Chains A and B, each alone.
Chain A
């Protein structure tokens, strides 16, 4: 496999920066390892995050909606919760862009919690705490580390349905954590759990904003899930023209 010139340039820089042999990096890339894991970082907005397998690599679609969301979060918002945080990209960028926010982040994988905590230090975001928890757990809402009500709820939950999971490129399937990708048979399992949390008494503040990334053809279904619990929703389009983000509001 011949590498695109631009990838080669990035690898060359990574090799020079960390004093690593270039041919080893190129070989890893040729074997299909994601560029971001080889380099070890991924820029996300103005931040530069550490990434390592198998924690989900932050995607450009996510970067786009998170920057848009930062502009829409009211100045009165104080507490944010991110579900399934991975590298911590969403809460860290929001806390960076909205200085009044402090963020809690959870992930089922302790390795993600470690990475997100490391990234907070790397980006000098102090108003941040990540901890291990499974938000599908029926008792999640009473987890000792949580301190509701939250003003902002974000998530890029696993949303790939079973049939599409099997079709994923090797670059994704062989390197990134299935727990960050596989959204159950329908791909929608996690949205149901998030909708239940969103309408739970005093879990969110009365004018909270909820922002969720969705798969390429899920906007309508996810919108319907949140409307069925009487939340107002809208869909945001990503730069490639896909409806990528469902925004749900508790207020009127």
Chain B
């Protein structure tokens, strides 16, 4: 059996692995360069040419290590690396078309999650009677799920001719995505996010005499966290117990999200940092169907293959680019700290 200390040591070992790998590559390349030097002045011209070619390649490797590998290792390990995610989707402006788009986004995230070996479950979903999905909550389980999804938070805008528009006019609609950090049930207590006595638990709908008199399924539950005013309603499960569990999961995720946001704000305040914080009402991405184009407005990146993005494949390119952008911002912050 492994002890908690063993696990901590193993984690440390695993976390330092990229460092070791980069250093090994650096020393190996340096050594190869040293070994190559005498050959550069070899008497055989073809040998000299070969050596020069090799020299250039090794030089390129060193530059790559210096310019991107080493700096990326400076980025402090993410404090949220182990967290799963809860993704909330809410339709916005645009009526039924917004709900139809939300269903497309939901499908995109489900596919993206499974491509990344995360376990995705729709835990709440309100269908729109006229088509599509009004709102949904998806649980994405797996290490790194939060870090992969977190940059999806914000307003997503779609421009297309809705399948419901007979006249064929282009509509603009929006859907809002909120990505929350999801803790394991056993870790919720450790984080001390709320006190039980601060949470009001209510059941919804009257049940008349109740008990043996009624066998209708009435399982809807609403939680109110009094200090923060956060309310969570859950009615997708067939038992109160399950809905309560789900509702507490959402409440914990929202409170954890507030905690992380608060910590970032505090850190930034002490650093007097000018880095803009993520605003959830900000329009982050536009999906233009007519032009097969998806643009992320934060990093000014466009992908000219909307179909692939919606299939969850090219979404990876956005996620990678946003992660890189975030890391570069972190590095800039670190450098600024050094200058102060």
Q: Which residues of A contact B (CB under 8 A)?
A: 5-7, 9-10, 34-36, 39, 42-46, 56-57, 59-64, 67, 156, 158-160, 164, 168-169, 171-172, 175-176, 180-181, 213-216, 238-240, 242, 244
Contacts and interface: CB of A to CB of B under 8 A. Distances in A.
B247 to A, nearest CB: 13
Contact of A168 (B207, B213, B235, B242): B213
Interface in B194-249: 201-203, 206-207, 209-219, 235-242
B325 interface: no
Nearest to B206: A240
Contacts of B239: 42-45, 60, 63
B210 A6 contact: no
A97 to B, nearest CB: 11
B127 A45 contact: no
Contacts of A63: 239-241
B237 A43 contact: yes
Given A5-B129, A35-B217, A43-B237, A181 B242 contact: no
Interface SS of B by simple majority: loop
Contacts of B241: 43-46, 63, 67
B212 A244 contact: no
A213 B211 contact: yes
Interface residues on B, range: 20 to 34
Query: Which residue, B125, B129, B207, has most C-beta atoms of chain A within 10 A?
Result: B207
Given A35-B217, A60-B218, A43 B211 contact: no
A172 B214 contact: yes
Query: Which residue, B203, B211, B218, has most C-beta atoms of chain A within 10 A?
Result: B211
Given A43-B239, A240-B206, 16 more contacts: A6-B236, A34-B215, A36-B217, A43-B237, A44-B239, A46-B241, A57-B215, A59-B212, A59-B214, A160-B212, A171-B215, A172-B212, A172-B213, A181-B212, A214-B211, A240-B203
Contacts of B202: 239
Contacts of B236: 6, 9
Query: Which residue, B125, B215, B235, B237, has most C-beta atoms of chain A within 10 A?
Result: B215
B223 to A, nearest CB: 12
A239 B240 contact: yes
Contacts of B129: 5
Contact of B210 (A61, A168, A176): A61
A33 to B, nearest CB: 10
Contacts of B219: 60
Contacts of A180: 212
Contacts of A169: 213-215
Contacts of A158: 212
Interface string B46-63: 000000000000000000
